Copies of this chain bind each other. A is one copy, B any other.
Amino acid sequence: MLEDKNPSKTSLGDLGEFALIDHLTQSFSLQNPSSVLGPGDDAAVLYHGKDPTLISTDLLVEGVHFDLTYMPLKHLGYKAVMVNLSDLYAMNAHPQQITVSLAVSNRFTLEAIDELYQGIALACKNYKIDLIGGDTTSSITGLILSISVLGSAPKKKLVHRKGAQENDLLVVSGDLGAAYAGLQVLEREKAVFKVNPNSQPDLTNYAYSIERQLKPEARKDVIDLLDELQIIPTSMIDISDGLSSEILHLSKASKVGFHLFEEKIPIDPEVNLICEEFKLNSATAALNGGEDYELLFTVKQKDYEKIKSHPFLTVVGHACEANAGCQLITGLGHQIELTAQGWQSFSKEDLS
């Protein structure tokens, strides 16, 4: 029944994560008046009181989402919390509670799990989050971590993926591609270590990117800044899968197209150097690398004055009519359509 040997059956790999979620959830409709927003945004929204409660959840599987060869358990705990907090910040909301469920094989000692929880505790301390529950069980192989985050926002301030309108400015926080660049370095060091376990790599030149990969920070500061600047974005999402994929999500939900200017994409100089070393296009790292946990949002043109000089906000493009699709405008003025799989299938020449 379960084995994928029947050619008339559909393999999950053919479908992809987003299509699978759409497929599985399409037949469910919301029945309770307290359920306001179901699957399809960064977090679900419910009303058990006057203001909305938000919940988001992530499942992290060893060997799929993390590699303990180079990911210290303390960092894993920290990052797992950040990934979840980021989903709530992406709705302009404030996370307050998490639940942590853990399945571990007996390969792990209590001391190892303690390290993981030290990272979770540090994240909770830094972001003022309460650990309120969870589940702990054994697994057959490896470590599985499921975290849910709860929070709230004043109803008026809640921001969704939908809401962007034509001519709105497309803004990104911080810089992109560093987490992906850091991953390349770590993967290379892992390969070197396998050949020579005594190698002592000097990673000083890669410190920023490695930190972005191993210990990212969720952008609470950006949410606080927007509040201070009295800006409520018209739409917002966090960058977990790469800029390209997230722009397409905003486009689909808001029913607008986007123009994204390649030369505006903020990339740290270290990332450019790493990409040169690895013979990668750094825009590719930004567009398809993912795991940056920066915020991508749209604002009204009238808000441009408020954000234009801010060091960690960059206008990278604007919304346009839906029929125009989502276009990357290269330095030479070529237009390349962003696709759900990213645009790595296009030749590099187009992007130089």
Contact = CB atoms under 8 A, between A and B. Distances in A.
B4 A39 contact: no
Question: What number of copies of this chain does the assembly contain?
Answer: 2
A55 B149 CA distance: 10
A51 B76 CA distance: 35
A25 interface: yes
Interface string A16-50: 01001101110110111011011100011011111
17 contacts: A3-B107, A12-B109, A12-B113, A12-B138, A21-B134, A24-B114, A31-B130, A35-B97, A38-B132, A39-B132, A48-B152, A49-B50, A55-B132, A55-B133, A55-B150, A59-B103, A59-B146
Contact of A12 (B6, B39, B44, B106): B106
Given A44-B99, A64-B139, A140-B141, 8 more contacts: A10-B109, A21-B136, A25-B131, A55-B148, A55-B150, A59-B101, A61-B139, A62-B140
A346 B313 CA distance: 68
A101 B57 contact: yes
Given A51-B48, A96-B46, A152-B34, A2 B59 contact: no
B39 A131 contact: yes
Given A138-B64, A142-B140, A130 B24 contact: no
Given A55-B132, A130-B35, A144 B141 contact: no
Given A25-B131, A136-B21, A59 B99 contact: no
A293 to B, nearest CB: 16
A11 interface: yes
Contacts of A133: 38-39, 43-44, 55-57
A26 to B, nearest CB: 10
A128 interface: yes
Nearest to A13: B106
Listed from nearest, the 10 A-B pairs whose CB atoms lie closest are A49-B49, A44-B132, A10-B110, A146-B146, A44-B133, A9-B109, A35-B130, A59-B101, A48-B53, A32-B96
A134 B55 CA distance: 9
Contacts of A138: 12, 61, 64
A267 interface: no
A58 interface: yes
B34 A97 contact: yes
A158 B31 CA distance: 23
A64 B140 contact: yes
Contacts of A112: 1-2
Nearest to A84: B135
A4 to B, nearest CB: 5
